[in-house]
Amino acid sequence: MKHTLAILVENKPGVLTRVAGLFSRRGFNIESLAVGVTENADTSRITIVVSGDDHILEQVEKQLNKLIDVIRVSDLPVEESVNRELALIKVGVDSTTRAEVMQIVDIFRAKIVDVGIKSLIIEVTGDESKINAIDQLLRQFGIKELVRTGRIAMNRGAKSVQAEKK
């Protein structure tokens, strides 16, 4: 079972090491990780996708909360949140395949952000399955390079992850 955790932390050096170190030390597996500053400059938000049963998830949350620099940990259920990843995909093209690739880009509402003679860079955002799908489709043309961010997520509706409550 996969869980998406939003972890609000102090925006200080070394905090990511503390969080990541805890996962490896306790034998929890990180599937994806993304980090950036929030609406407050002194707070960063780490989004971690972790797999495990309820017992493991409970331990992960409790152990994270023990870290002094962790302000809040929230579990964001997929159904109640918007989940996004971003990928940059460099695809090899020639005159015969270029049009077909551009058509796929269109269907996925992706963007071409760089055009070369023998390649294109495609930028695509979406949930994990969308990115997996375009990845699969583009493989036939020859993917030269692919880079993906970790997942970020946000509660739908009025509910939000705020620093005040822990």
Partner 1 sequence: MTHTKMSGAKAVIESLYCENVDVIFGYPGGSVLPLYDELYEAKLRHVLVRHEQAAAHAADGYSRATGKVGVCLATSGPGATNLVTGIATAYMDSVPMIAITGQVPRSLIGYDAFQEANITGITLPITKHNYLVQDAKDIPHIFKEAFYIARTGRPGPVLIDIPKDVQNEVMEFEYPEEIKLRGYKPTYTGNEQQIKKAASLILKSEKPIFYVGGGIVFSNAAEELRILAESIMAPVTTTLMGMSAFPTKHPLSIGMLGMHGTRYANYAIQESDLIIAVGVRFDDRVTGKISAFAPNAKIIHIDIDPAEIGKNVRADVPIVGDAKNILKSLLKYVKMEQVKTESWTKKIAEWKKEYPLVYKKDNLLRPQYVVEQISDIVPDAIIVTEVGQNQMWAAQFFNYKNPRTFISSGGLGTMGYGFPAAMGVKIGKPESTVIDISGDGSFQMNSQELATVVQEDIPVIVAILNNGFLGMVRQWQELFFNRRFSSTCLEGSVDFVKLAQAYGALGLRATKKSEVRDVIIEAVKSGCPTVIDFVVEREENVSPMVPAGAAINEILDME
What residues make contact with partner 1 under the rule CB under 8 A? 9-10, 14, 17-18, 21, 25, 55, 58-59, 62-63, 65-72, 163, 166
Cβ proximity to partner 1: between 9 and 87 the closer is 9
Cβ proximity to partner 1: between 69 and 75 the closer is 69
Question: CB of 116 within 8 A of CB of 141?
Answer: no
Cβ proximity to partner 1: between 58 and 106 the closer is 58
Name the one residue in this structure whose structure tokens are 């939000």: 160
One-letter amino acid of 130: K
3-class secondary-structure state, position 135: helix
The nearest distance, CB 52 to partner 1, in angstroms, is 14
The nearest distance, CB 104 to partner 1, in angstroms, is 45
Q: What is the 8-class DSSP label of residue 12?
A: -
* Angstrom distance (rounded) from CA 162 to CA 54: 24
Cβ proximity to partner 1: between 21 and 116 the closer is 21
Which tokens sit at 98? 């270029």
* Angstrom distance (rounded) from CA 161 to CA 100: 42
The nearest distance, CB 25 to partner 1, in angstroms, is 5
The nearest distance, CB 49 to partner 1, in angstroms, is 21
